[in-house]
Chains A and B, each alone.
Chain A
Amino acid sequence: MPKACNLKRIVINKMANSILEVNNITRSYKSGNRELTVLQDISFSVEEGSIVSIVGPSGSGKTTLLGLCAGLDRSTSGSVILNGIQLDHLGEDERARIRNRYLGFIFQNFQLMPTLTALENVMVPLELRNEKNIRDRAMTLLEKVGLSERIHHYPVQLSGGEQQRVSIARAFSTHPKILFADEPTGNLDDETSDRIVQLLFDLNKEAGTTLIIVTHNPELAESTHRIIKLKGGHIISDEPTRNAVLSA
């Protein structure tokens, strides 16, 4: 069990109520002979159960930051501590296990597996955990997102909004501690976007999940508790929204 021991060793006592801590992270890429710094010296923390939006113009580093926070990538320097576990020293497979155990994802282009039905797409994260009664749980979730009639349809047979609802059901299937959403309404029309956001927030409230959303949509950002603004790889503001004040 060497990997499990390693994981235990790098668990750090998390700050009270903090589910995610980002400390001075920098991410650079090599592009030919040049080194391109996408994020520089970023620090913030996120409280458990809160809803945070990350906004900024294209190329500001939002998606890169999301990837680092979710353990999809490793920073060049600095550290990311998720649910008390420092991700920076973990291998890809260890981070995959952490993603499966604690995280949920919603993507702009849905990222459903095209060869799996809606039901199977929702079941996959649970199957990876070897859990029981997963079919019933996945069906319940699909019912919640209003797709009980379309569980055996393949993604190609669903509309964009329906695909995103499957994606939301999949994200909540494992009761994640944090849910990362990358432009969840980016590919949807306004009406569908509103319904999806509503669904997302309802389920989030019900499950008490922490939600981190990367978005271009100011309305969506305004409806979260806190907005982190990025520009040129730096945080230019990190403020609570009016919504946060109201919910407090």
Chain B
Amino acid sequence: MDHLSSPEHKQINFSWLLTMAWRDSRRNRGRLLLFISSIIIGIAALVAIFSLENNVRKDIDNQAKSLAGADLIMDNNRAPDEAVGKLIDSLGEERSAQCSFASMVYFKKSGGTRLVEVLALEGDYPYYGSLETIPAAAGRDFRGRQEALVDKTLMLQYNAQPGDTIQVGELDFRIAGTLTQAPGRTGVSTTIAAPVYIPFRYLEQTGLLQKGSRFRYTYYFKYGSDVQMNKQLEAVKDTLERSGWDYETAEFRKQQTSRQFDDLSKFLTLVGFIALLLGCIGIASSINIYVREKIHGIAVLRCLGASGLQTFLIYLIQIVVIGLVGAIAGAALGTLAQQLLPVVLKDLLPVHITTAVSWSAVFKGLGLGVIVSLLFGLLPLLSVRNISPLYTLRISLEPHPSWKDPAQILLFGIILLFVCLFARLQMESWMQAAVFTTGILVAFIILAMAALLLRWAVKKFFPSALSYVWRQGFANLYRPNNQTILLIVTIGLGTLFIGTLYFVQGTLMNRVSLSGSGNQSNMVLFDIQTSQKQAVAELAQKFQLPLQQQVPIVTMRIEEIKGRTAEEARKDSTLRTPRRAYEGEIRVTYRDTLTDSEKLTAGKMDGSGHQQGQPVYISLEKGWAEYIRVGVGDSILFNVQGTLMSTVVGSLRDVDWQRVQTNFRVVFPTGVLENAPQFYVLVTRVPSGEVSAAFQQSVVQKFPNISIIDLGLILRVLDEVLEKIGFVIRFMAGFSIATGLIVLIASVFVSKYQRMQESILLRTLGASRRQIFLIITLEYFFLGALAAATGILLSLAGSWALAHFSFDAPFQPSWPPVVILFFAITFLTVIIGLFNSRGVVNTPPLEILRKEV
């Protein structure tokens, strides 16, 4: 009896456990590695993103000043008045000025016209970084000559070369070079507003500085030290704020860029994490099968006197070690994949991305790999504790349902908490993290339910009348050791990703396309001066274009809301009027009727115009009225280019902003603004691309100040932007799909062992290769088809919800690509299934039998 209570018998000999774990894994190491390969891609995705995060953070720090190009930036959409002008002259050691605005440009050689962002630059800006051009000297030299720098996408689009001529307004510029990078700009931002730089001193001569055009004046300052800048800034801050000038320092720009990048990296991390979770299902399933194969070995150990804990630890060590190996492989792959990310993300980030090895990212990946291997490997491993030594005596036992094991329930809880915690680290609130976790859980459950339903339906309505091959193919879906749930969940989730991405992109494109279909407008001309109004209308008629709208626009600012100035509103926090309500210019029109994109929601719009002696009743867009916190009956004092005008809110309107037409937050009645400085907007519909190009060319040549937006351009820009963002998402979704494929390969590989004996038996009994081939094909066809169909259905539901609730757009998916996606996923599943099973089909039965004994 003394032996039993002796401490050496009870203590856990760790080195023996390690030895046993090593010995036990001997003949299964290859398979264990395959199991763990499920997480390699997920870890690789996360390590790549963590590395990118660390590197970009460093890059943003190192390139902080290049992001802004200056120490201090001030801007406003009005030219500085005398006081501000003096103030500007007193700031900084060096300063540059820039005036930017939207305008049409005309490429003389190709005859192409396009709306661009013209930036008239004076001074040596950027002080940090540079305007990167081809040739390199162009970025410096164009300032002294009548030359322009043109964005590379425009150069490509119009097949232009340095030395060609571009017309901006009434003036021709020689193209000095192709602009490849400017401080703070990204590929996406230049796609939306392609920049063309010209020297500031030629701005006047372009004739574009006419009243009514929308300009942005920006001043860049360089300082010897931040201390000096902060001191000066502190002194002028109040004056700047009072006169409505925005300012930002390089540090602020850096923080802003960091914040934008944070959002991006958190999104990417979540996508990578989903890939990892998919891999985790692979681990749980593989370890489950592994443990089942080990039951007899475990029972023998128990028989020889090993405790439940000892046997459990032997396998736990295997999982931790193999998880670590998987994580190391994933981290190495992730570090390599990181080299690709700058190529993928170059259009979304304004900094040059470096790709140094980030050890903190590698260690985070390793830790994460071990944790998920443990958590998900433990799920099936917990059952090891309950394996009875009676298995050695061939006494079959009824399995313990795992959901009755409190440890199993606790583990499920821990896994959910882990997912939620990880999501919380990437999201802003617990609520978002909970929604994410629930979303993933619901998608998992729906896919698992679909799999269960398939198994149940096949069993219940088993097609007994079919031939043996079909019956066997069907039966494989529900027989012991089937992979139905695992494969449907992993392949289904991968399909869900691809499908949602595709549908959302389609919805956004549709929204724009639809707005231009039928007889709706598809071209807007703006900045038409009063003197040009008639001539432009005549030109449009010459091209047989309908004048669908010709709307006057007056720009003004708000001085008071409900009798309170901006200063008063700022001091009185109870008013809760946003500061921005008083900032910037508002473009207003005047008319007495509603357009077909408007609906009155409160008050009334008097059709007779303004009556002398009566207050000026204006109509506000409902959302904006809520934003500035006014309702019907409240007063607003406007500053109409120097003249103060008191108004009363007479009505509120709902506006459909999606239509290509002029919509306004504020509508004045007729009889008030007719004599104010104004410009016009003309809305028309061009029948074809050719007419559009000819009309635009004609307008730009005759009226260079007029800008044109045509729907074709919007569609093109949107397509390019979505393509750039879509590429990033597709790249990340690729990790999930790759994981799905690896899990699929691993699962099929594992099931091959399960099916080996049976296939051998079938071959021995005379089944032909063709029959076995057909059985396998059918099984994987059903699995692939159901997974793809469920994934597509889920993505349709998700995309509909996004279209309905987020984009407020009709959801009209295009069906041919859906069918292609369905067959592509199904085909891939069958191909992988067959490829992995080729050993069973091609090798003589006896050879396999010998290997498997």
Q: Is A88 an interface residue (CB 8 A)?
A: no
| Chain A residue contacts of B389, Cβ below 8 A | 72, 96, 99
Q: How many angstroms between the C-alpha atoms of A67 and B299 in the bound complex?
A: 13
Main secondary structure of the interface of A (DSSP, over half): helix
A170 to chain B: closest CB distance in Å? 8
Contacts of A73 in B (CB 8 A): 388, 390, 395
Knowing A85-B1, A129-B9, say if A96 contacts B305 (CB, 8 Å).
Answer: yes
Chain A residues within an 8 Å CB radius of B304: 99-100, 105, 124-125, 128, 170
Bound-state CA distance A97–B6 (Å) is 11
B515 within 8 A of A: no
> Which residue from B8, B308, B393 sits with its C-beta under 8 Å from A130?
B8
Query: Would you give the shortest CB distance from A140 to chain B, in whole angstroms?
Result: 19
Within the complex, the shortest CB–CB distance from B797 to chain A, in Å, comes to 42
The answer to whether A72 and B390 touch across the interface, beta carbons within 8 angstroms, is yes
B551 within 8 A of A: no
Contacting pair B390 A1 (CB below 8 A):
no
Whether B302 sits at the interface, judged by CB under 8 Å, is: yes
B487 to chain A, nearest CB (A): 29
B16 touches A7 (CB 8 A): no
* Among listed A17-25, A45-53, A107-115, A224-232, interface-contacting one: A107-115
In the complex, which residue of chain B has the Cβ closest to the Cβ of A98? B4
B306 in contact with A67 (CB, 8 Å): no
Distance of A18 Cα from B393 Cα, bound (Å) = 25
B353 to chain A, nearest CB (A): 47
**B513 within 8 Å of A by Cβ?**
no
Q: Would you call A234 an interface residue if the criterion is a C-beta within 8 Å of the partner chain's C-beta atoms?
A: no
Let me know if B573 is at the binding interface, CB within 8 A: no
Residue in contact with B393 in the complex, picked from A4, A63, A96, A114, CB distance below 8 Å: A63
A124 touching B301 in the complex, CB below 8 Å, given contacts A67-B390, A67-B393, A115-B23? yes
Cα distance A7–B9 in the bound complex, in angstroms: 14
Proximity string of chain B (380-400) to chain A, C-beta cutoff 8 Å, 1 when within and 0 when not: 000000001110111100000
Among B5, B8, B11, B307, the residue within 8 A (CB) of A96 is: B307
A97 to B750, CA, bound (A): 35
In the bound complex, CA of A125 to CA of B303 (Å): 10
Residues of B in contact, count (CB < 8 Å): 40
A131 and chain B: residue at smallest CB distance = B8
Chain B interface secondary structure, helix, strand, loop or mixed? helix
Q: By CB atoms of chain A within 10 A, which of B1, B307, B393 has the most? A: B393
Whether the pair A125, B305 counts as a contact (CB closer than 8 A) is yes
**Residues in A whose Cβ lies below 8 Å from that of B27:** 114-115, 154
Q: A8-B1, A99-B304, A105-B304 are in contact. Are A63 and B392 (CB under 8 A)?
A: no
Q: Is the CB of A96 within 8 A of B4?
A: no
Q: What CA separation (Å) do A11 and B2 show in the bound complex?
A: 12
| Closest B residue by C-beta to A32 | B398
Given A64-B395, A113-B24, the answer on whether A100 and B1 have CB atoms closer than 8 Å is no
Contacts A63-B395, A130-B9; is A92 near B308 (CB within 8 Å)? Answer: yes
A4, B4: Cβ atoms closer than 8 Å: yes
Query: Which of B4, B25, B307, B393 meets A7, CB within 8 Å?
Result: B4
Do A105 and B392 form a contact, CB below 8 Å, given A115-B24, A115-B25, A115-B28?
A: yes
* A101 adjacent to B3 (CB under 8 Å): yes
Taking a contact as CB atoms closer than 8 A, the residue among A111, A115, A116 that contacts B303 in the complex is: A111
Bound state CA distance, A64 and B305, in angstroms? 19
Q: Which residue of A lies closest to B11 (CB)?
A: A130
Besides the known contacts A5-B5, A113-B300, A115-B26, 17 further A-B residue pairs in the complex with CB atoms under 8 A apart: A3-B10, A7-B1, A8-B1, A8-B5, A63-B393, A99-B389, A100-B304, A100-B305, A105-B304, A108-B394, A113-B297, A114-B27, A124-B301, A125-B305, A129-B8, A154-B27, A170-B304
Could you list 10 A-B pairs, sorted by A, with CB under 8 Å?
A: A63-B395, A64-B395, A73-B395, A93-B309, A97-B10, A98-B4, A111-B392, A130-B9, A170-B304, A182-B393
Q: Which positions in B face A, CB cutoff 8 Å? A: 1, 3-5, 8-11, 13, 16, 19-20, 23-28, 296-297, 299-310, 388-390, 392-395, 853
